[in-house]
Amino acid sequence: MVRVLRYGFDYPGLVGVAGNESEVPDNFELSQNYPNPFNPTTRIDYSLPKSGNVTIKVYDILGNEVRTLVNNVKQDAGRHTALWDAKDNNKTAVSSGVYFIK
């Protein structure tokens, strides 16, 4: 189980922000996975300001590589998604715990 605590504030004057979802982002962004905690899969969104090769890996708390989700794949600029099914590179289910995405 992965659990993340976030702090925020409530500003009653702020209603929303209009934006164009199709715009190319200005910089690289790896978003928080969701749902979190998850079972059986979690979604990892990321944005690229320009096309390039992408590698996304999951690591356990000791820094051991658990799973490669995207392996040196050429991708266009824009928003992308990777899914993790809580399995390692051998397709074996991993234990509940804390994992890192890099």
- 1 is a domain residue: no
Between 7 and 30, whose confidence is greater?
30
Q: What is the pLDDT of residues 5-24, one digit of tens each?
A: 444 444 455 545 455 555 66
In this prediction, residue 11 carries a pLDDT of 46
What is the domain range of residue 44? 29-88
Tokens coding 54: 């992408």
In this prediction, residue 37 carries a pLDDT of 80
Distance, in Å, from the CA atom of 73 to the CA atom of 93, rounded to the nearest integer, reads: 24
Distance, in Å, from the CA atom of 5 to the CA atom of 62, rounded to the nearest integer, reads: 21
Number of domains in the chain: 1
- 96 is a domain residue: no
- 7 is a domain residue: no
What CATH number has the domain bearing residue 35? 2.60.40.4070
Tokens coding 99: 């994992």
Between 102 and 25, whose confidence is greater?
102
- 24 is a domain residue: no
Q: What is the pLDDT of residues 60-99, one digit of tens each?
A: 999 999 999 999 999 999 999 999 999 999 999 999 889 9
- 53 is a domain residue: yes
In this prediction, residue 46 carries a pLDDT of 92
Average pLDDT (43-70) is: 94
